[in-house]
Amino acid sequence: MASNKKYWKSVEELNEDSSIVAKLRQNEFVEDLPTDEFLGDKETLESSSTSRRDFLKYVGFTTAAASLAACEGPVVKSIPYVVKPDDVTPGIADYYATSMANGEDFANILVKVREGRPIKIEPNKLAKTNGSTNARVQASVLSLYDNNRLKGPKAKGEAISWNTFDKELTAELSKLKASGEAIVFLTGTHASPSTQKIIQDFTALYGNVDHITYDAVSESGALDAFEAMYGERALPDYDFSKADVIVSIGADFLADWQGGGFEVGYAKGRVPNHGKMSRHVQFESNMTLTGGNSDKRYMVKPSEQAQILLNIYNALTGNGGAKTTSVDAGIQKVVKQLKAAGSKAVVVTGLQDKNAQLITLAINKAIQSEVVNVSSPRYIRSGDDAKISQLLASMKAGKVGALFMYDTNPAYTLSGFAEALEKVKLSVAFAMTEDETASMSKYAAAIPHYLESWGDVNIQKGQFGLVQPTIKPLFDTRQFQDTILKWIGSSQSYYDYVKANWNTSVLKGTSWNQALHDGVHMNTSTEELTVNEVNIDSAAAALVSSIKGSDLELSLYTKVSLGFGQMANNPWLQELPDPITRTTWDNYLLISRVDAEAKGLTNWTVANGALNGDKVNVTVNGVTVKDVPVYIQPGQAPGSVGLALGYGRVKGVNANMKVGVDAYPFYQNFNTHQPVSIEKVGGVHEFACVQLQHTIMGRENEITKETTLADFVSKPKEEWNAKAHVSQDHQLVEIDNVDLWEKFDDTIGTKFNMSIDLATCTGCAACVIACHAENNVPVVGKHEIRVSRDMHWLRIDRYYSSDMTVEKGKEEGIYGSKGFFEAQEDPSDDPEVTFQPVMCQHCDHAPCETVCPVAATSHGRQGQNQMAYNRCIGTRYCANNCPYKVRRFNWFKYFDNNEFDFNLNNDLGRMVLNPDVVVRSRGVMEKCSLCIQMTQATILKAKKEGRPVKDGEFETACANACSTGAIVFGDVNDNESKVAHIKEDDRTFHLLEFVGTKPNVFYQLDVRNTNEA
């Protein structure tokens, strides 16, 4: 409604002709402002109260304010959920069960997903077997965020769209179909029933199709042997927990042998139970993780291993014809023990030879070994050497029209492949990175990481696993299977395909949703095993004739870190110290001290303590790799050298990951054992080792403890696990009874303790990577590791025994002298090996806590020694005063720093960060927190649910990752808890107990079964 109201401004308006009103229409003010009055008159201006100083103040203030206001605040990218997804609660992690199967590592896993980002891999405890995660599986989550991933399909190096890709490829395929040229699928072992079916579908459509599986490091010998004897191309399963006697001839079964995963069963037999534990004898040339864990290790050259196997076979079966070896006495003892153990024994071998594997199978069959399970074999290796050789030949002959490569990088791993590939008209690499093969192929089809994929896997007969995506594909990638489906004209997605396939052939009426939830599905098969008669004698004869010794023999091996080398661009794995050599970012020629001296090769330390080594040129059958660094390895069999595969990648990896030498050229005819010659060349190699002193310096009973089974069973605890004593009032008293401080009552509430069982710890280092992932531990690079600045919160110390013992020193009369200590520093040529994981010991009387001037590290009510990063000023006094040297200092800013160009230097790589753990800034100390973020979450959860925390609910990343259960974590105030029980065990001891730090981490001593009878 319009208003007729009139508003008066002044009474003047009553007067219609008021000049004031007229003037106001034009002017703002009635009177002119008296500007002249205060500006024109100098004198008034000067006498005004606003002085020149005031003016300057105002100018100064406004300038400062204006410039401050001009400063731009940092732009923080955070995108709120507009519509919150139902299943995402910020701050609450989701877990998805999935499976990893990349041709090398197969595991049923749980993936921790925070706010849509997968950040950690955990073992899926629902899986009966293969639920364990090794270091590579743990680290694989970082490969998802690999900056070098293919971000879309490429043709001859140029990015193209999937439409173009499909158009061109279908055109090519129809041409091929018309011409009838051979199409070959070359894949790694995927053990995926659905993928297998898709390829069959494809074959049905296109006809001349061959599918060849290829394992970079082949288990073809074992597969051939098993196939010959049991009619199925698979690998037998071994349950070492059932074994009383384990004899391994070159089989590194605690690491990657036949796909790994055997440590779980093995560890069960390594704890004395009712006075019994397994006896493990290892014959090997390289010092392996398995050899390091064995009770008795014999150093033999590779060529001798076959003879040893034969001799054992002959002795067991009563055949004659044993040739002498260097370890005959050992073989006799082993045979006696094998015979005594009967079906509770097992013989395994790592020899890559069908005959050797046949003999092993025959031995185990002869003794009716319960350890070997042939009825549900494993499918995690399926490569066939013969077929690969054929493929290479036909490729070279130009007989291959198209080659589709998936999950494999033969241009890197297979010598001769690169040349052969050039002769193939159509080559398509389905790859995650532009690796050696993808960059050579005509088409590189970007495939997603397994954490972005659907799929299935049949790891073992009757054991199925599902692969489900945990994040939307980060890049423009498409699964290999989806591509094939498209090519065969199917409109189905691979997800539908898998689901349909499972519903028809796997689930047998059970729920798909349940299977997807569990990630695993058991399907007990009732198939009868067929046993073929194989002529073992002829195999033995063939084996004998194949033995060719040489002066120096090379054993190629894979490391628990890089394995085949697929994840060479994974900084966590590159920085993971080798459990044996404790060296990072490298491979090197392992050589015995004897051979090194004979050839004038040395390792030496430089002023900052770092290790340097000579270099050699290594030649195998005319193939030479230049400038291979030499590492003198205690326990390396004289006459043998070792070299790790998986290094020396050049394509698809960052510049700072191009480390080590490529040993694949030596892997000729898929034989890990090769005659070799080495020649010293000039130059010095700089190693990056995290441990530089290898022996325990006679401090066994204070650092690690070990006893023999016999002593453990028959002698009182004081003799093999005596408490530390200190002098008080001139009397020796147990350390527990001496205390400078008054003890506060810590029996109320939760008190965390951690137990580490040295008997079951194999040193596999999965815990190290798990800790890396959980706690946002930065990668610092080769140089920083070299100058002893590793950041690992958890390390696995490895000690070799020395020939100089206290007894020997006393005998020789040099005990306590300079010469004695010097001799102790040298590891034995044939050492016993001890592994000891060390993280912050969370001392109740922590030396670090008393010395911090600002109380940045202090004791928690629950027993943890805590770090308040915000409070830390970085005096590093705590690290100096830590007897365990577990504190880690941020010497630099390790994130967003081009000097440290690893995953924390790019937005993609930072996605792996655990939001529950702060990224530490430069200048602060950090260390193991006993995963306080996990324990607090557990407590809060229980509190919300109004119940006490159950035993087993408390976890740390390391304990969770430990497949052998060597690390146990829990509340020691809960009398029912596992850790409380273990604490009362006779094997319990504390690291450096005599210092009186009263740690909350304790160890269980190692027991060695030295029983030779």
CA dihedral in degrees (624, 628, 630, 635; nearest 10)? -60
Q: In sequence order, what E strands does 83-206 have?
A: 94-101, 106-114, 117-123, 154-155, 158-159, 182-187
* Cα R_g (the chain), whole angstroms: 34
Should residue 687 be labelled a site residue for another protein when binding is judged by CB under 8 A? Answer: no
CB-wise, 221 or 781, nearer to another protein?
A: 781
CB of 586 vs another protein, minimal distance in Å: 18
Q: Least distance in Å: CB of 889 to another protein?
A: 6
3-state SS string for 268-310: HCCCCECCECCEEEEEECCCCHHHHHCCEEEECCHHHHHHHHH
Q: Are 643 and 666 in contact (CB under 8 A)?
A: yes
**Beta bridge partner(s), residue 925:** 889
**Roughly how many angstroms between the first and final C-alpha of the chain, as a whole number?**
113
Q: Which stretch binds another protein (CB under 8 A): 233-241, 292-300, 688-696, 928-936?
A: 688-696
Contacts of 252 (CB under 8 A, 6+ apart): 284, 288, 289, 290, 291, 350, 557
**Closer residue to another protein, CB minimum distance, 893 or 981:** 893
- Return all residues near 681 (Cβ < 8 A) that are at least 6 apart: 615, 616, 617, 626, 627
Per the DSSP assignment, residues forming a β-bridge with 328 are none
Residue 855 Cβ vs another protein, minimum distance, rounded to whole Å? 4
The SS3 assignment for 85 reads coil
Query: 647 vs 1002, which CB is nearer to another protein?
Result: 1002
Q: Which string of x and - marks every residue 591-610 that binds another protein (by CB under 8 A)?
A: --------------xxxxx-
Q: Which of residues 903-962 bind another protein (CB under 8 A)?
A: 921-925
Q: Is 670 or 799 the residue whose CB approaches another protein more closely? A: 799
Cβ pair 334, 311 in contact under 8 A: no
SS3 966: coil
- Nearest distance from C-beta of residue 611 to another protein, angstroms: 10
Q: What is the DSSP string of 794-845?
A: SEEEEEE-BS--HHHHHHHT-TTSHHHHHHHHSBPSS--EEEEEE----BTT
Q: How far is CA 193 from the centre of its chain?
A: 27
| CA–CA separation, 594 and 499 (whole Å) | 59
Least Å distance, CB 840 to another protein, is 13
Nearer to another protein, 706 or 955 (CB): 706
Among 335, 713, 726, 879, binds another protein (CB under 8 A): 879
Q: Give the span between the Cα atoms of 360 and 679, in whole angstroms.
A: 36
**Residue written as tokens 């527990």?**
736
- Using the minimum distance from each CB to another protein, give the nearer residue, 247 or 690: 690
Beta carbons within 8 Å of 131's beta carbon, 6+ residues apart: 107, 108, 123, 124, 125, 520, 963
Which of 308, 882 has the CB closer to another protein?
Answer: 882
With CB under 8 A as the contact rule, the residue among 329, 529, 692, 733 that binds another protein is 692
**Residues in contact with another protein, shown as a per-residue x/- string from 979 to 998 under the rule CB under 8 A:** -------------x--x-x-
Q: How far is the CB of 692 from another protein (least distance, A)?
A: 6
- Name which of 715 and 922 has its Cβ closer to another protein: 922
- Minimum CB–partner distance for residue 297 and another protein (Å): 21
884 near another protein, judged by CB under 8 A: yes
> Is residue 853 part of the contact set for another protein (CB under 8 A)?
yes
Decide: is 703 part of the binding site for another protein (CB under 8 A): yes
Shorter beta-carbon distance to another protein: residue 536 or 878:
878
Task: Give the whole-angstrom CA distance, residue 798 versus residue 805.
Answer: 18
Least distance in angstroms from the C-beta of 740 to another protein = 11
Q: Which is nearer to another protein, 319 or 788 (CB)?
A: 788
Pick one of 199, 580, 872, 939: the residue that binds another protein (CB under 8 A). 872
Q: How far is the CB of 999 from another protein (least distance, A)?
A: 13
| Measured distance CA(250)–CA(291) in Å, rounded | 9
Of 296 and 998, the one with the shorter C-beta distance to another protein is: 998
Which lies closer to another protein via its Cβ, residue 510 or residue 921? 921
Contact with another protein (CB under 8 A): which of 889, 969, 1002, 1003? 889
CB atoms closer than 10 angstroms to residue 508: 10
Q: Does residue 876 interact with another protein by CB under 8 A?
A: yes
By the rule CB under 8 A, 883 interacts with another protein: yes
Min. distance of Cβ 878 from another protein in angstroms?
9
Q: State which of residues 560, 852, 931, 961 lies at the interface with another protein (CB under 8 A).
A: 852
Polymer length in residues for the chain: 1013
Return the closest-CA partner of residue 134 out of 154, 108, 172, 158: 108
- Selected from 435, 586, 614, 784, the binder of another protein by CB under 8 A is 784
The residue type found at 500 is A
Rule CB under 8 A: say whether 797 interacts with another protein: yes
One of 220, 824, 903, 963 touching another protein (CB under 8 A):
824
Q: Are 746 and 863 in contact (CB under 8 A)?
A: yes
CB of 768 to another protein, least distance (A): 14
Residue 8: alpha-carbon gap to chain centroid: 85
Nearest distance in Å: CB 888, another protein: 6
> Using CB under 8 A, which of 877, 906, 937, 953 touches another protein?
877
CB of 615 to another protein, least distance (A): 23
| Cα of 439 vs its chain's centroid, Å | 27
CA distance 923 to 806: 43
Q: Which of 319, 656, 875, 973 binds another protein (CB under 8 A)?
A: 875
| Cβ closest to another protein, residue 671 vs residue 836 | 836
Q: Which is nearer to another protein, 449 or 888 (CB)?
A: 888
Q: Which is nearer to another protein, 455 or 809 (CB)?
A: 809
Q: Of residues 695, 938, 963, 1000, which one binds another protein by CB under 8 A?
A: 695
691 is an interface residue for another protein by CB under 8 A? yes
- Region near another protein per CB under 8 A, out of 31-39, 285-293, 635-643, 815-823: 815-823
Nearer to another protein, 462 or 923 (CB): 923
Q: CB neighbours of 315 closer than 8 A, spacing ≥ 6?
A: 322, 331, 332, 335
Q: How many residues lie near another protein (CB under 8 A)?
A: 70
* Only segment of 375-383, 444-452, 813-821, 973-981 that touches another protein (CB under 8 A): 813-821
Report, in Å, the least distance between residue 726 CB and another protein: 13
Q: Are strands 520-522 and 463-467 parallel, antiparallel or unpaired?
A: antiparallel
Among 319, 815, 951, 981, binds another protein (CB under 8 A): 815
Token digits of residue 960:
């969770």
Q: Could you say which of 788, 805, 906, 1011 contacts another protein (CB under 8 A)?
A: 788
Considering only 274, 730, 743, 818, the residue that binds another protein (CB under 8 A) is 818
d(CA 992, CA 1007): 19
Give min distance, CB of 845 to another protein, in A: 10
Of 963, 988, 968, nearest to 132 by C-alpha is: 963
CA distance 118 to 140: 11
Residues in Cβ contact with 884 at an 8 Å cutoff, skipping those fewer than 6 apart: 838, 840, 841, 991, 992
Query: Which residues lie near another protein (CB under 8 A)?
Result: 605-609, 691-699, 702-703, 784, 787-790, 795, 797-799, 815-818, 821-822, 824, 836, 838, 847, 849-855, 871-877, 879-881, 883-885, 887-893, 921-925, 992, 995, 997
